[in-house]
Structure 1
Amino acid sequence: MIRPIVKDILFLQRKAEKAGRKDTSEGRDLYDTLAAHSEDCVGLAANMIGSTKAIIAVSDNGHLLLMYNPEITKASPSTYETEEGCLSLSGRRPCRRHDWVEVRYEDENFHKKKKRFQGFTAEIVQHEMDHLAGILI
């Protein structure tokens, strides 16, 4: 189900709670909502659709990837300055991102996975992970 995008700053600043198998419908809604906004959005965190669970969906080189309970386990020592936008916020804001990140997460079947993301996909993942920590750009 496609859900509306949350713009309430106080809600978006809440830290996410661990997701479990009972939260799969929220994951599907997050995936559906990202797919519906794919023309102007490349990633969403669950709090952006009104959920407090640790779930993100990102475009990984055009393929939508759903991650439950993602954790960045490693990051490149090198970083760069960029500007990012967000469906929940107006405008674009400067931020600093790592060139690559390694993420441990659970897939849609709650199988443990680990993947390294580079370039723009790494930037998307870091942005959505910030959302789970209650950090807004």
Structure 2
Amino acid sequence: MIRKILLSSNPMLRQKSKPVVNFDKKVMKFIQDLKDTLSVQKEPEGVGLAAPQIGKNLRVFIANYKGFERVVVNPEVIKIENKRKQSGSAKSPRSRREILEGCLSLPYYYGPLRRAARITVKYLNEKGDEVTETFEGFNAQIIMHEIDHLEGILFVDHLLKENKPLYKVDGDDWEEVELV
């Protein structure tokens, strides 16, 4: 079922989510609701969706970007690395880079964020199996953004903390807006 996505002003998005205790049919249906809801987001398009964004205070999110699809339940961050690894010992690791980040709960607003280059997370997949996986680059950014939602954090909180700009997009026009 397609659910309504809560907007950033909704206090539910500021609550810390609770772990999934029983991996049952209700949870499976809810995961399907997340998938259905994300799949219809075209303007703007989304690459991830967390349970709090559709009104459930559970530690569940999905990611779906160009063949990268994950269902993540009860994620636990194991390791964060700020350098990307490259093949070949002669090359030095590249620094992480800024990516314009947005959110379906704050549609048409974007800001430059520099998140970790790699993150290792332990979680349950949609079958309830425990998985430990390392994500890099944009996929790592998606995972960190969605984990933030489970902690009651929005991407604009990082922009405020880092004194970075926020842009509102209207068609082809980008306008810097005040963060308050």
Same fold (TM over 0.5): yes
TM-score, normalised relative to structure 2 = 0.70
Alpha-carbon shift at residue 104 of structure 1 (Å) = 0.6
Partner of 2:70: 65
Q: Secondary structure at the match of 1:21?
A: coil
Q: Are 2:44 and 1:43 equivalent residues in the alignment?
A: no
Show the 5 A alignment for 1:1-137. 1-7=1-7, 8-19=9-20, 20-22=22-24, 23-37=27-41, 40-59=45-64, 61-78=66-83, 79-90=96-107, 91-137=109-155
Alpha-carbon shift at residue 38 of structure 1 (Å) = 6.1
Residue type matched to 1:24 in 2? Answer: M
Alpha-carbon shift at residue 60 of structure 1 (Å) = 5.1
Residue type matched to 1:54 in 2? Answer: R
Where do 5+ consecutive residues of structure 1 fail to align? Answer: none
Bigger RCO of structures 1 and 2 (CA < 8 A, at least 6 apart): 1
Q: How many residues align?
A: 137
RMSD of equivalent CA atoms: 1.7
Encode CA deviations 1:43-67: one digit per residue, 9 max, x unaligned: 0111111110000100254242111
Where do 5+ consecutive residues of structure 2 fail to align? Answer: 84-95, 156-180
Contact preservation (8 Å) 1:31, 1:64: no
